[in-house]
Amino acid sequence: MEQTASSSASEQGGPLRTYWTKIWHANVPPKIKVLVWRLVHGIVPTRLALLSRHLHIQDVACVFCKSTNESSLHVFKECDALQCFWRLGPLKLKAKEQAAGDLKNWLFDVLDMLNSNQVDFFFMALWSVWTERNKIVWNDGCFQPMHMIQWCTSSLEEFQKYHQKVACKKKRPLTKWQCPPRGRLKINIDGAFQVDSGVGGIGVVVRDDLGTGIAAIARPFLHAHSAINMEAEACRAGLLLGIHQGWSDVVIESDSALLIAALKSEEDNFSEVSRVFDDCKDYLSAFQSVEIRHIYREANGVAHRLAHLASYLLLDDIWLDETPAIIQDVLYEDYCNVSIVARGSGFMSPRCKVLILI
């Protein structure tokens, strides 16, 4: 790998917080933010990166210039063939002339130069370079810099037309947990990670279409890698629980936008948790019907409580027939907040019927 992927949780705080704020607040499609995140962490599958992972790559030359090994720094910054694209675009970047030891530093240097609107276009341009590269590799496409610039401009305008930022500081309304559709189960997952100690934890709770808790998981990880590592482990645990229980129709909910984007992405992932992501994608195919949703933290209270307790109190237990007092209040609060259509049944306590720790 060109660059070791470090803990995203620790990097997103401290002196780099400004850069991460610009990345996650950019008004571009989520998949483009994920690409930028992968570029910063050096986990984009360029030919040189694949070769470093001992994959058989016959040709490691850049698909644009055909003369230099295809590293991420070369493709996005230093390739001679791409300089016209950067110079002719509205940002008029002299990419190759900018000093930078690696791609991450160059990206952050550019972010320091740009306002928010220019950042949006810059991210679209990065996406355009990568998609153009893939077209050449897989579809024998040809390099068309002017077409790329036009695409960036029109695509950004089209996206922002329907995703305008709200100028006022009006708070968004709080969301509540909702029951899954009739006949389906909802699996809420969450991960917790302590940067200082490296201890993590996961929480999983499963409820039916009446809001009744039917399963839950709490598990600590003494040597966790990052916050996204714990989110992925929670997802894997929830999916394995569903497979072992023989559930066929489920809804997966997480408050991690990065996890949801990774699960929906068809591209290979080369981060430190790539194997967990791969397992999750394989397990998804075991269900007859599965829906993946992103939710806000306030709608994920039970799973969050379990993950927090697993991380800080090393909660790791098996409950049968009843839910423990530590989550009963959050389950009941969710139950009271949902609007359930009358189905001929009276009140059902959100009591755990089955709990299996896997």
pLDDT for residue 322 = 63
Q: How do residues 57-90 score in pLDDT, each as one tens digit? A: 888 899 899 988 999 999 999 999 999 899 888 8
Predicted confidence band at 198 (pLDDT cuts at 50, 70, 90)? confident
Res. 342: pLDDT tops 50: no
> What's the rounded mean pLDDT across residues 281-293?
93
More confident: 274 or 152: 152
Predicted confidence band at 144 (pLDDT cuts at 50, 70, 90)? confident
Domains and CATH numbers, the chain: 8-162 (no CATH), 185-337 (3.30.420.10)
pLDDT for residue 347 = 32
Predicted confidence band at 355 (pLDDT cuts at 50, 70, 90)? very low
Percent of the chain with pLDDT strictly greater than 90:
44
Res. 351: pLDDT tops 50: no
Res. 227: pLDDT tops 60: yes
Percent of the chain with pLDDT strictly greater than 70:
84
Predicted confidence band at 3 (pLDDT cuts at 50, 70, 90)? very low
Q: How do residues 250-286 score in pLDDT, each as one tens digit? A: 999 999 988 888 888 777 665 667 889 999 999 999 9
> What's the rounded mean pLDDT across residues 343-357?
34
pLDDT for residue 35 = 93
137-151, 195-209, 318-332, 341-355: segment of lowest average pLDDT: 341-355
Predicted confidence band at 236 (pLDDT cuts at 50, 70, 90)? very high
Q: How do residues 167-189 score in pLDDT, each as one tens digit? A: 555 666 778 899 999 999 999 99
Res. 96: pLDDT tops 60: yes
Per-chain mean pLDDT for the chain: 83
pLDDT for residue 319 = 64
> What's the rounded mean pLDDT across residues 191-207?
90
pLDDT for residue 188 = 96
> What's the rounded mean pLDDT across residues 199-203?
94
pLDDT for residue 247 = 94
> What's the rounded mean pLDDT across residues 200-208?
93
More confident: 172 or 18: 18
Map the chain to HEC letters: CCCCCCCHHHHCCHHHHHHHHHHHCCCCCHHHHHHHHHHHCCCCCCHHHHHHCCCCCCCCECCCCCCCECCHHHHHHHCHHHHHHHHHCCCCCCHHHCCCCCHHHHHHHHHHHCCHHHHHHHHHHHHHHHHHHHHHHHHCCCCCHHHHHHHHHHHHHHHHHHCCCCCCCCCCCCCCCCCCCCCCEEEEEEEEECCCCCCEEEEEEEECCCCCEEEEEEEEECCCCCHHHHHHHHHHHHHHHHHHHCCCEEEEEECCHHHHHHHHCCCCCCCCCHHHHHHHHHHHCCCCEEEEEECCHHHCHHHHHHHHHHHHCCCCCCCCCCCCHHHHHHHHHHHHHCCCCCCCCCCCCCCCCCCCCC
pLDDT for residue 169 = 55
pLDDT for residue 94 = 87
